[in-house]
């Protein structure tokens, strides 16, 4: 998965810096996904997901140190639990899919989440939805259909997992939008890391297996890459308008395709590339319409 939702709070100067921070974050997230794909070939996705969450919790704790306990207080415990649940579900679905389908395909399907966020905001947050948004949703789903191709030899049931990831991620984004209005970013990071790690730890005993010493740095790197990438995203959105940064999140599909070819020899076919392009164009159209309406 490429981008986590971060609070689009402050828009000011520093567009170039914000853009570079976002692109670096996308690069790190796709490298994380590449490492995850390598590891899920030998370990359960639960083990990989636990490492992702646990290392982030350790890093956040070390960074905040004495300030950590102060960020455990919240007026929205239920929403934080729901946010952690959807975060774990999204990550679990995506990591599980990597054992069965290509990195580029999984990333393209997971990147349906901006369209689902738009639809969910209309359905559950009362935001207006018009013919243009509905059209973009349908076009993006058509792009997903081109990638999955149900009923053909190219179809893999595992392709449903990135779609579920996109849905869970969209729900997570809507919850984050509600929480982010009143809660500090540090509180959101602390509680999501703590609750998320706890949830995956409950499942870990059923999937635990011996880990080769040579793979331990890879597990640690997954957590470090994810944590640094999230910090970069938060900083990018704190200095640059979300409408400016939004379309560049789709660069993740390009990076994922590149890493798939270099590290795994996965060359996406024409239909997969066409479906990814359709999804990107649908997302860019929603971004263009929203920007134009606000102006």
User: Tens of pLDDT along the chain (295 residues)?
Assistant: 544 444 444 444 456 787 888 889 889 999 999 999 999 999 999 999 999 999 999 999 998 989 999 999 888 899 999 989 998 999 999 999 999 998 988 998 888 877 777 677 677 766 666 777 777 777 877 888 888 777 665 568 888 999 999 899 888 878 877 777 778 878 888 998 999 999 999 999 999 889 999 999 999 999 999 888 888 877 776 666 655 666 677 788 888 989 999 999 988 888 888 888 888 888 777 777 766 666 6
pLDDT tens for residues 186-222?
A: 888 899 899 999 999 999 999 988 999 999 999 999 9
Q: What's this model's pTM, rounded to 2 decimal places? A: 0.82
- What is the four-CA torsion angle of 156, 162, 164, 170, rounded to 10 degrees? -160
Q: How far apart are CA 236 and CA 22, in angstroms?
A: 6
Q: How far apart are CA 161 and CA 109, in angstroms?
A: 9
Q: How far apart are CA 46 and CA 38, in angstroms?
A: 14
The number of helix segments (H) and strand segments (E) in the chain equals 12, 0
Q: How far apart are CA 184 and CA 163, in angstroms?
A: 30
User: CA-CA distances (angstroms) from residue 168 to 20, 92, 218?
Assistant: 27, 10, 26
DSSP for 170-227, written as a single string: HHHHHHHHHHTTTS-HHHHHHHHHHHHHHHHHHHGGGT-----GGGHHHHHHHHHHHH
Q: How far apart are CA 66 and CA 151, in angstroms?
A: 56
Return the number of other C-beta atoms located less than 10 Å from residue 60's C-beta.
20
Q: What is the pLDDT of residue 98?
A: 94
User: CA-CA distances (angstroms) from residue 241 to 175, 185, 252?
Assistant: 20, 17, 19
Q: How far apart are CA 183 and CA 213, in angstroms?
A: 39
């Amino acid at each position: 998965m490429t981008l986590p939702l971060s609070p689009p709070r402050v828009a000011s100067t520093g567009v170039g810096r914000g853009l570079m921070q976002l692109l670096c974050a996308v690069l790190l997230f796709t490298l994380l996904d590449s490492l995850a794909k390598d590891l899920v070939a030998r370990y359960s996705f639960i083990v990989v997901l636990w490492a992702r969450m646990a290392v982030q919790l350790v890093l956040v704790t070390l960074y905040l140190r004495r300030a950590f306990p102060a960020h455990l207080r919240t007026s929205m415990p239920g929403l934080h639990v729901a946010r952690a649940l959807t975060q774990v579900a999204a990550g679990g679905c995506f990591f599980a899919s990597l054992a069965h389908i290509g990195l580029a395909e999984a990333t393209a399907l997971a990147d349906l989440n901006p369209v689902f966020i738009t639809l969910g905001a209309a359905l559950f947050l009362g935001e207006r939805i018009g013919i243009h948004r509905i059209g973009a949703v349908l076009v993006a789903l058509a792009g997903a259909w081109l990638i999955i191709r149900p009923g053909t030899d190219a179809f893999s049931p595992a392709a449903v997992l990135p779609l579920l990831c996109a849905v869970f991620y969209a729900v997570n984004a809507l919850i984050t939008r509600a929480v982010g209005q009143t809660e500090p970013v540090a509180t959101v990071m602390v509680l999501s890391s703590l609750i998320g790690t706890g949830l995956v730890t409950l499942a870990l005993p059923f999937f635990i297996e011996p880990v080769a010493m040579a793979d331990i740095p890879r597990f640690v790197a997954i957590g470090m890459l994810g944590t640094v990438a999230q910090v970069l995203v938060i900083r990018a959105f704190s200095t640059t308008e979300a409408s400016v940064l939004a379309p560049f999140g789709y660069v993740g599909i390009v990076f994922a395709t590149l890493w798939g070819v270099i590290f795994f020899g996965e060359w996406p076919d024409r239909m997969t590339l066409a479906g990814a392009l359709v999804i990107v164009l649908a997302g860019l159209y929603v971004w263009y319409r929203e920007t134009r309406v606000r102006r």
